[in-house]
Structure 1
């Protein structure tokens, strides 16, 4: 899939919002970054985040599937969760 400016801008906005809301760290270079972002947006209670997720799905031609499970959210005791090559790394 080709990443154009609209997709990258949307991904960067979503990355900031998901980090602030859900303490979820997603690297744009991850192979599953788009699917992870869309899944996390579906679990968000913020309507702006959900709208950004829908826009990302439209721009990237990615289907929104409610069966995709979002990555586990980290608890405040364990700090943020980094996902490196598909593996969760607690920092």
Structure 2
């Protein structure tokens, strides 16, 4: 994806609004900054923030964009998370180390 002035300006404006409104700190250098901003926009109750999110989706050609024909996260069916007890092996224990499962 190509970053241009319009996209960066939109990201900066949206970043400020999300920080003030939802206390979400997003850095533009994050690899998933656009997706994080768009997800935060879906939880926002402010119409201007939602419009900025739609503008960001259009500028970034993101799958959140309705014009691309892809469903937005609100339209996607919610799938339940897998039961962690079924994911662990039958013998041994599981520990979390730096966010990863470690099977002992």
When the two structures are superposed, what TM-score results if normalisation uses the length of structure 1?
Answer: 0.71
Q: CA deviation at 1:56?
A: 0.1
Q: Which runs of 5+ in 1 are unaligned?
A: 68-86
Number of the residue aligned with 2:41 = 41
Partner SS state of residue 13, structure 2: helix
Q: How does 1:7-86 map to 2 (within 5 A)?
A: 7-64=7-64, 65-66=72-73
When the two structures are superposed, what TM-score results if normalisation uses the length of structure 2?
Answer: 0.63
Aligned equivalents of 2:6, 2:39: Cα separation in 1:
19
For the pair 1:3 / 2:13, whether they are aligned, the reply is no
Query: 1:10-57, CA deviations, whole angstroms, 9 ceiling, x for partnerless residues?
Result: 000000000000000000000000000001001100000000000000
Aligned equivalents of 2:56, 2:63: Cα separation in 1:
10
Aligned equivalents of 2:63, 2:55: Cα separation in 1:
11
- When Rg is computed on C-alpha atoms for both structures, the one with the higher figure is 2
- Find runs of 4+ consecutive structure 1 residues off by over 3 angstroms: none
Aligned equivalents of 2:45, 2:63: Cα separation in 1:
20
Q: CA deviation at 1:63?
A: 1.6
Aligned equivalents of 2:39, 2:4: Cα separation in 1:
21
Give the alignment's Cα RMSD to 1 decimal.
1.3
